[in-house]
Amino acid sequence: MDKKGIEVLKDKRISKSTAFNADEKEKLGLRGLLPYAISSQDKQKQRVIENIRRKESSIEKYIFLSALQDRNERLYYKTIMDYIPELLPIIYTPTVGEVCQQFSHIYRIDKGFYITPEDKGDIALLLDNWPEQDVRVIVVTDGSRILGLGDLGCNGMGIPIGKLSLYTAGGGIKPEYCLPVMLDMGTDNENLLEEIMYLGYPHKRLKGDEYDELIEEFITSVQEKFPKALIQFEDFLTPNAYKILNKYQGRVLCFNDDIQGTAAVALAGVYSALRITKQVFTDQKIMFLGAGSAATGIADLMVKALLKEGLSESEALLKLWFVDIQGLVVKTSTELMPHNKPYAHDHEPMGFIDAIKDIRPTILIGASGAKGVFNAEVIQLMSSINERPVIFALSNPTSNAECTAEEAYTLSKGKAVFASGSPFDPVTLDGKTYVPGQGNNVYIFPGVGLGAIAVEALQLPDSAFMIAATELARQIHQSDLDQGTVYPRLTNLRTISFEIAVSVANHLYELGLTRLEKPKNLRTYIKNMMYDPTY
């Protein structure tokens, strides 16, 4: 039965609030329930943005937007899409980090799906409780390594919720297709376990076989209930992130954004940087600071890109060097994790500065979460070795960046090609303005996701991320490169995601990894799939 009266206004998917016209008010039984004046969606959007700008703290802005999402979904997405550069830092990093830290305190409306060890054996049944029948994208975390903030347990739910908002706003994936999941396996964060307000499963984390079994049950239950769904793993502790990805990548449609999404966005940034430095990729020597999931994921994709350019595997590996907390990662390093081993070269151990002097990298990529480690000495050294050093400080949030944009440009006297993980303002130096690019994964995952679900993909191989990186780099205009920016404007995110989706979809057809027969006009097919929140 069609909804009437207050039920219409309570339904976030159909409510237009003050935008219902006189006819609709009459037909839907809304007379008296709304003020007299009728606002256009644009006027409502204006009202929303005025309200947001009036709020002093980012977290208050987040709470306001989150409440709007629950009241009027189309207005929420319309506002985000039209103000993406301003609102991205609110609905995602850095604000979402603070949101997760305070999740149990600011919790208001139920969004998303929670699974705990007590649900073992029942996960498939539980999924029947989700109101949507055709889920196409699931973002799942176990909360064990939220951004650079560590184990936040169930409070990490802010991440899947935020990411899925971006799938819709950036990639045009319908909100009803999206399912945020918290695999709440407990937490080893003592503060949370002692906290009265904590909403999660109040026990130490599940480990070993029990952990693996719950993941397995989750994956098989999703396959059973939502067979077309893409599963995005997010913010798992690095060893588990790799273990899960390696186990399931060839079996189900899934990927890990921290590993593969980050890799694609960084590779695209490097491709663009080389357009500025006018060098070729195979001539580069790349040094990573931090040998965790982000940096290793980038390196793994770079190896594949170098192989495609004709290098042998051993030649490709020798282009890539890692420095972690113990210094240069070498064959004799102790406690090497499996994902580090291919990059542990035959070399004497040494510290970061000596490693730069000795290896003479052309590109330096920070993914360590260690604030300020790209200090004056590092930046000046890179500038003395290279005419145009490429320096990416990818650690989030802004306060954890290896260096600021200002430091990179000033200390290199404008020579550095800089990008960061979190946003920095433009910097003016000797009359020239440099606009730092933000290597945000949002450039990649919505487009890859859209492409994958459009063709009902069976799997997402690494090569799809190489395709996405190449397409992203293609979307950068010369005018952006002239300002030192290695990423395109966020205001073009829908177009960028669409182009990535088309390239990824074509690639998946070439590989025979699709369930859907190829539509006559793939571009039109994908365009028509994209959610439009306009009333």
Which active-site residues does the annotation give?
A: 92, 163
Residue 265 near ligand NAD by CB under 6 A: yes
What are the tokens at 460? 């997402």
- Span from 16-24, 194-202, 361-369, 518-526 in contact with ligand NAD (CB under 6 A): 361-369
Q: Residue-wise over 495-522: b if at least 16 C-beta within 10 A, else e?
A: ebbbbbbbbbbbbbbeeebbeeeeeeeb
Q: Please, are residues 235 and 244 in contact by the beta-carbon 8 Å criterion? A: no
Rounded to a whole number of angstroms, the minimum distance from the CB of residue 12 to ligand NAD is 30
Residue 149 CB, shortest distance to ligand NAD, in Å, is 9
Residue closer to ligand NAD (CB basis): 200 or 437 = 437
**Residue of the chain from 400, 404, 459, 485 that contacts ligand NAD (CB under 6 A):** 400
Residue 323 CB, nearest distance to ligand NAD (Å)?
Answer: 6
CA distance 246 to 232: 13
Judged by CB under 6 A, the number of residues near ligand NAD is: 29
- Of 8 and 417, which has the nearer Cβ to ligand NAD? 417
b/e map of 198-211 (b: 16 or more CB within 10 Å)?
bbbbebebbeeeeb
User: Residue 143, interface with ligand NAD (CB under 6 A)?
Assistant: no
59-80 CB burial, b ≥16 within 10 A, e <16: bebbbbbbebbebbbbbbbbbb
**205 three-class SS:** coil
Which tokens hold the place of 261? 């999404």
Strand partners for 345 = 330
Of 370 and 530, nearer to ligand NAD (C-beta) is 370
Q: Measured from the CB of residue 166, what is the shortest distance to ligand NAD in angstroms?
A: 13
Q: Which residues pair with 390 in a beta bridge?
A: 363, 417
Contact pattern for ligand NAD over residues 267 through 306, marking x by CB under 6 A? ----------------------xxxxxxx-----------
Question: In the complex with ligand NAD, which residue's Cβ is closer, 79 or 144?
Answer: 144
Binding mask 77-116 for ligand NAD (x = CB under 6 A): ----------------------------------------
**What are the DSSP E strand ranges found in 369-448?**
390-393, 417-420, 427-429, 432-434, 437-438
Bridge partners (DSSP) listed for residue 198: none
- Stretches 176-184, 214-222, 301-309, 363-371: which one binds ligand NAD (CB under 6 A)? 363-371
Residue nearest to ligand NAD (CB): 292
Q: Is 322 helix (H, G, I), strand (E, B) or coil?
A: strand
Nearer residue to ligand NAD within complex by CB, 236 or 531: 236
What are phi and psi for residue 180, nearest 5 degrees? -85, 130
Nearest approach, Cβ of residue 477 and ligand NAD (Å): 21
Cβ atoms within 10 A of the Cβ of 461, count?
18
- The whole-angstrom separation of Cα 496 and Cα 494 is 5
Least separation in angstroms between residue 289's CB and ligand NAD is 5
Query: 89, 143, 148, 172: which one contacts ligand NAD (CB under 6 A)?
Result: 148
- The site string for ligand NAD over 316-355 (x = CB under 6 A, - otherwise) reads -------xxx------------------------------
CB closer to ligand NAD, 232 vs 441: 441
Which residues pair with residue 330 across a beta bridge?
345
Which residues here bind ligand NAD, judged by CB under 6 A? 147-148, 238, 258, 262, 265, 289-295, 323-325, 367-370, 373, 394-396, 400, 421, 439-441
